[in-house]
Amino acid sequence: MAKTDLIGGSLWEQYSEKVTERMNHPAFMGELTEEDAAAKGAELVIADYGADSCGDAVRLYWLVDPKTGKILDAKYKSFGCGTAIASSDVMAEMCIGKTVDEAARITNLDVEKALRDSPDQPAVPPQKMHCSVLAYDVIKKAASVYKNVDMSVFEDEEIVCECAQVSLSTIKEVIKLNDLKTVEEITQYTKAGAFCKSCIRPGGHENRKFYLVDILADTRAEMEKERLNTAAAKKSFLELTLIQKHKEVEKVIEQYVRPILNNDGGSVEVMDMKEEGGKTIVYIRYLGACMGCAASTTGTFEVIRNTLKQKVDDSIEVQLV
- Residues acting as catalytic residues: 54, 131
Q: Which amino acid is at 25?
A: H
Q: Which amino acid is at 58?
A: V
Which are the contacts of 271, defined by CB distance < 8 A and separation ≥ 6? 283, 284, 285, 321
CA–CA separation, 228 and 8 (whole Å): 55
End-to-end CA distance of the chain: 63
CA–CA separation, 22 and 68 (whole Å): 30
CB atoms within 10 A of CB 91: 28
Taking CA atoms, 7 is separated from 3, 13, 233, in Å, by 7, 9, 63
- Closest C-alpha among 155, 162, 144 to residue 62: 144
